[in-house]
Structure 1
Amino acid sequence: MTTLLSDDLLATIRGRAAIHDRENSFFADDLADLRAAGYLAALVPTSMGGAGLTLRELCHEQAALAGAAPATALAVNMHHVWTGVARFLHERDDDSLDWLLAEAAAGEVFGFGYSEAGNDLVLLGSRTEARPDGAGGYTFHGRKIFTSNSPGWTRLGVMGLDSTTDPEDPRIVHAFVARDAGGFQILDDWDTVGMRASQSCTTVLDGAPAPADRVMRRIAPGPSLDPYVLGIFTSFEILLASVYAGIADRALELAVAAVGRRTSMKTGKAYSQDPDIRWRIATAALAQDGIWPQIDQIAGGIDAREDRGAGWFRATSGLKVRATETARQVVDEAIRCSGGSSYFSRSELGRLYRDVLAGIFHPSDDESAHSQVAQSLLGPLED
């Protein structure tokens, strides 16, 4: 399996994570090191100047990065989602995002500007307006939340609703805007419980322009099997699962080390010899052991270009929910085993406890995943 993240690089990034968390600062130093290591082009084919990793290989890299610095991994994830979409299309003979692969190899950083407050339709609808500019492009007007990597992106993928070109046939417009083209404001509003270094600030789009050659799709609102939508959904869910699996891996590692160090005054033995502690460690491990085979199998299916159609939505949304919920369980068990010192904000386990909570807010949430599975088994709800 190809790797790009050396042990030395991961150790350096781990050494900064607590500082960025404490200062609520952006991981600019990590980003520079990752760019220098060629990590931003991990999924770019070697023929286009990248490292040529498979999606499965990148999942393991992202997990290792998350074990060192979860917020860094989460924010870089959004860049990898876009290179994942471009790779997904490229391998299916669609070259519409080949320019993105080339720009990623050249060092451009991509952000993901899709989330909107109160929009539970996610990819199926938008509160943002996409206004035609008369030359085949659009300007975008709306508010995007949880825009990870806000200080660092140079290209931002966005979507909005064009209801003016044909009011009887509105379209979801997927496009990219450039940082140096303006038309947006990034709010300084990221003061959260966890994932602080990601600086996932609110982005206000106020005429951000996307020229015609950066308008990727115009799709009817609602469910779609367009490869562009399928690429976004699968890349997002699978890579997100890998980040939270990495958090769980690290939490279990820290818990095992902690119970080996701590000694019971009651028995004089290490807590690793306490039957109740051993049960908790085993419970966490048993839960975590079930996640990596799922990530490998589902990511491997994308790499193998399996055609599951709408089945990919069920497979990947379920993976995301299982991975994030398992990670919460593993971190909770690790906290319970490791003692009160983990309650301090300076504790790495305490930070993981705060970071892992973010998993419940990413799409697909628990409700929408259950809806996906129910629809796949029972059909749509009747009117």
Structure 2
Amino acid sequence: MTPDEILPDTLLERIRGRAAGYDRDNAFFHEDLAELTAAGYLKVFVPVSDGGLGLGLADAAQLQRRLATAAPATALAINMHLVWTGVAHVLAARGDSSLDFILDEAAAGEIFAFGNSEAGNDSVLFDSRTEAAPQPDGSYRFTGRKIFTSLSPAWTRLGIFGKDAAARGGEGELVHGFITRQTPGYEILADWDTLGMRASQSNTTVLDGAVVPAGRIFRKLPVGPNADPLIFAIFACFETLLAAVYTGLGERAFSLGVEAVKRRTSFKNDGRAYDQDPDIRWKIAEAAMAMDALYPQLSRVAHDVDNLADHGTQWFPRLVGLKVRATETARTVVDLAIRVSGGSSYFRGSELERLYRDVLAGMFHPSDDESAHNTVANAWLGPLEQL
């Protein structure tokens, strides 16, 4: 099936038609989620034999790009489910069946969310401020605070991690597992009142002794960077699908800018359309060239993940570079679209006004600009020398 068949124009228009209301009311996209679930969209990575679409990361990225042209906040939240199912798919393709249960449960209708982000943790996946206390039966009790937990009103499975500081001779161990909606010992705060991406409802989740049974603990890793396939799979899916969302957001902003300059007319130039103004044409061309550079980068990285390409130490620079390119390009294109669209785009309720607020979220997703540049510099120049 093609992206147009999975996400037909009629469905996209219904989703686009609800986006402004969700944003205005700071409401979760319940109707969007119901329609996307009915369309099998949450089973993108689930094998066909289990009732899914059986697609890879490249196809999923194009679908998310398309969905984001209608509702970036909806697409961003759906990303979190697709990241976990994508991780299971990427690992399975490399002979690691440790997360096959995610695909099995997604096939049964479970919705996964990503509960790893922590305020002040710039080590991201390589350390944690959450305590993971081992219990005699092999379970772990998690205590900590997770931020930006998208899909908060709807998830049924939440992936979390924390640190067992006493493990490995006191060097610490990072413990990964899943809780369910029914697990006691957590609270979802009603604190998502943000500038943009409002429909994602990425509330804070407070873990207060939430127990993950031994059977739901799926990784124990040393603190610090390591070569475990899980880390690659998370980065590959998270960064690529994130880039896809912001690519779609930029694509939509560009289309709105083109429509605006064809529609607007100049009083001083006898009613000629602004698409005849050389300065306006330059800005449209600038936006088009920026987007044209992004599409092949997104496609290439996603296809390389699917095709098991071996980029060695250059994999992480490619992934974080794609994320930064996509989020920064989208910001540039939204800005250009607003500049050519006139003062109406500044008013509350304008789609470009909403996209302007939504696109700003891109700077906060990992890897941030500073971390990404450090990753790329280390890949090409080696680490900084210690004085």
Give the shorter-chain TM-score range. Answer: over 0.9
Matched, 1:321 2:324: yes
- Are the counterparts in 2 of residues 132 and 165 from structure 1 also a CA contact under 8 Å? no
Q: How far apart are 1:2 and its partner, in Å? A: 2.7
In 2, Cα distance between equivalents of 1:155 and 1:309: 32
Deviation by residue 1:204-258 (Cα, 9 ceiling, x = unmatched): 0111221112111110011111101110011100000000000000000011111
In 2, Cα distance between equivalents of 1:142 and 1:271: 54
In 1, Cα distance between equivalents of 2:47 and 2:368: 32
Matched, 1:210 2:173: no
Deviation by residue 1:178-203 (Cα, 9 ceiling, x = unmatched): 11112110111111010000000111
Matched, 1:190 2:195: no
In 2, Cα distance between equivalents of 1:294 and 1:176: 33
Structure 1 equivalent of residue 2 of structure 2: 2
The alignment yields a C-alpha RMSD, in angstroms, of: 1.0
Q: Which one of 34, 37, 55 corresponds to residue 36 of structure 2?
A: 34
Q: How far apart are 1:47 and its partner, in Å? A: 2.5
Identical aligned pairs, as a percentage? 61
Q: Trace 1:19-30 onto structure 2 (pairs within 5 A).
A: 19-30=21-32
In 2, Cα distance between equivalents of 1:182 and 1:262: 57
The one-letter code of the counterpart of 1:360 is M
Q: How far apart are 1:6 and its partner, in Å? A: 1.4
Deviation by residue 1:145-164 (Cα, 9 ceiling, x = unmatched): 11111111110111100113
The one-letter code of the counterpart of 1:34 is L
Q: Trace 1:100-249 onto structure 2 (pairs within 5 A).
A: 100-249=102-251
In 1, Cα distance between equivalents of 2:366 and 2:168: 30
In 1, Cα distance between equivalents of 2:217 and 2:2: 34
The one-letter code of the counterpart of 1:338 is S
Matched, 1:338 2:329: no
The one-letter code of the counterpart of 2:102 is L
- Are the counterparts in 2 of residues 241 and 295 from structure 1 also a CA contact under 8 Å? yes
In 1, Cα distance between equivalents of 2:109 and 2:314: 34
Q: How far apart are 1:167 and its partner, in Å? A: 4.6
Q: Which one of 355, 364, 367 corresponds to residue 367 of structure 2?
A: 364
The one-letter code of the counterpart of 1:272 is D
Q: How far apart are 1:80 and its partner, in Å? A: 0.5
Q: How far apart are 1:166 and its partner, in Å? A: 4.3
Structure 1 equivalent of residue 353 of structure 2: 350
Unaligned runs of 5+ in 1: none
Q: How far apart are 1:168 and its partner, in Å? A: 2.1
Structure 2 equivalent of residue 380 of structure 1: 383
Cα distance change on mapping 1:53 and 1:2 into 2, 3 Å: farther
Deviation by residue 1:75-124 (Cα, 9 ceiling, x = unmatched): 00011000110001111111111110011111111110111111100011
Deviation by residue 1:265-288 (Cα, 9 ceiling, x = unmatched): 011200111111100000000001
Q: State TM-score, norm by structure 1.
A: 0.98
- Are the counterparts in 1 of residues 317 and 379 from structure 2 also a CA contact under 8 Å? yes
Structure 1 equivalent of residue 69 of structure 2: 67
Unaligned runs of 5+ in 2: none
Of stretches 286-295 and 129-138 in structure 1, the one that deviates more from structure 2 is: 129-138
In 2, Cα distance between equivalents of 1:106 and 1:49: 9
The one-letter code of the counterpart of 2:360 is L
Of stretches 47-56 and 292-301 in structure 1, the one that deviates more from structure 2 is: 47-56
In 2, Cα distance between equivalents of 1:155 and 1:310: 32
Cα distance change on mapping 1:184 and 1:167 into 2, 3 Å: farther
Q: Which one of 276, 279, 282 corresponds to residue 279 of structure 1?
A: 282
In 1, Cα distance between equivalents of 2:302 and 2:43: 18
Structure 2 equivalent of residue 87 of structure 1: 89
